[in-house]
A and B are shown apart, each in its own frame.
Chain A
């Protein structure tokens, strides 16, 4: 059976590449520290020597729109183009092509259906920055096939926090049951408190620094009970209108299981808290 070798959950800041590659005299003061932290985080993946990446992200109205809006979707294609025109324009993210793994996508899709997660699928999926940002940060050589999974964190009504956690558990089971000797890493991105297009956007901190610190502690301790007791759609929106990106962290904790994280780092940037978590399955961590 396949082996899950690492679960990574992080924020995806679309300006990372631009912020750390512009001429040094134009860079923001935190850029060198940001780069150091991301490169250290990258190593938490590299040392597990994965063969396949299961990537969890959320389309930001790039391929998916309100005329046809799935809650959960899996890509099943031999390869995936990435980065849309408006992401190049706004964030300076280049175009990529990611190799797919159709066999694993097909297996995961069926397995998740068998676990009562009725996924939509796409045979022609163009990936956006929710999946390209972590490629840039943790696997910039882009040398591994991916199984992309999209969740809806954007177009209400959204599935419940518990449903996101249970989906993470189901993804873990599907990886564990995949008949292959592959080493699989699961990588998902979202946000802590975040405001976009509202009165609290682009402040000196994220819109709710108290939530950010609390969320980091919950994830550090793998405390799913506290998360599910405290985090609702209403509470997330109060913390910032785009805070439902935290649902993908909840999902990733489901993939890892309710365990302490093995690696935790964060960085307070000008309008958001960046956070980086890695879990190693206990049998490997020993």
Chain B
């Protein structure tokens, strides 16, 4: 498990309109590109060799599966804000304000009154 690397995915994509667009349009191909050339990047000259996603993490990211990411202990703020960036507008148009946020909460109801997975990395 690499909670840090999952968070790095969420962090790098949420903050970059071009990456976000590619992740919306073709998540499978974008996640592959991210693992190959974006995730390892430390700066324009340096690359890290030490991190990788597990199969379950890759699958959750490819499927926009924020429930699985929550359960893996991805940081709640990054997990929410990036998927709001993807789904808020279409949900708003279809079902009104906060409809995506409420669906997000509804899908996590089985965690109510339980200790959530730790976000500590």
Verify B102–A199 contact, CB threshold 8 A: no
Q: A90-B85, A242-B76 are in contact. Are A197 and B70 (CB under 8 A)?
A: yes
CB distance from B51 to the nearest CB of A (A): 10
CB distance from A32 to the nearest CB of B (A): 18
Verify B101–A242 contact, CB threshold 8 A: no
Residues in chain B near residue A85, CB distance under 8 A: 15-17
Among the 9-residue stretches B26-34, B56-64, B108-116, the one with 4 or more Cβ atoms under 8 Å from chain A is: B108-116
Chain B minimum-CB-distance residue to A199: B108
Verify A154–B77 contact, CB threshold 8 A: yes
Verify A198–B102 contact, CB threshold 8 A: no
CA of A85 to CA of B119, assembled, Å: 24
Query: Of A86, A89, A200, which contacts B105 at CB under 8 A?
Result: A200
Per the 8 Å Cβ criterion, residues 79-101 of B in contact with A are 79-81, 84-85, 88, 98, 101
Verify A90–B88 contact, CB threshold 8 A: yes
CB distance from B42 to the nearest CB of A (A): 8
Verify A241–B109 contact, CB threshold 8 A: no
CB distance from B97 to the nearest CB of A (A): 8
Q: Mark A203-221, 1 if CB is under 8 A from B, else 0.
A: 1000000000000000000
Query: Of B75, B102, B108, B118, which contacts A61 at CB under 8 A?
Result: B75
Total A-B contacts with CB atoms under 8 angstroms apart? 79
Residues in chain B near residue A66, CB distance under 8 A: 4, 7-8, 11, 121
CA of A89 to CA of B81, assembled, Å: 10
CB distance from A248 to the nearest CB of B (A): 15
Does A23 sit within 8 A of B, measured CB to CB? no
Verify A197–B7 contact, CB threshold 8 A: no
Verify A199–B112 contact, CB threshold 8 A: yes
Say what secondary structure dominates the interface of chain B. helix
Per the 8 Å Cβ criterion, residues 174-228 of A in contact with B are 196-203
Per the 8 Å Cβ criterion, residues 1-16 of B in contact with A are 4, 7-8, 11, 14-16
Chain A minimum-CB-distance residue to B109: A199
Verify A199–B105 contact, CB threshold 8 A: yes
Q: A156-B119, A241-B116 are in contact. Are A197 and B85 (CB under 8 A)?
A: no
Interface residues of A (CB under 8 A from B): 60-62, 65-67, 84-86, 89-90, 154-157, 196-203, 237, 241-242, 270
Given contacts A61-B75, A156-B119, A198-B105, 18 further A-B contacts (CB under 8 A): A60-B81, A61-B11, A62-B15, A66-B11, A86-B81, A89-B17, A90-B84, A90-B88, A155-B121, A197-B75, A197-B79, A198-B76, A199-B105, A199-B112, A200-B105, A201-B104, A202-B101, A202-B105
Interface residues of B (CB under 8 A from A): 4, 7-8, 11, 14-17, 66, 70, 75-81, 84-85, 88, 98, 101-102, 104-105, 108-112, 116, 118-121
26 cross-chain CB contacts under 8 A: A65-B7, A85-B15, A85-B16, A86-B14, A86-B15, A89-B85, A90-B85, A90-B88, A154-B75, A154-B77, A155-B119, A156-B120, A196-B77, A197-B66, A197-B75, A197-B76, A197-B80, A197-B104, A198-B70, A198-B76, A198-B105, A198-B108, A200-B105, A241-B116, A242-B77, A270-B98
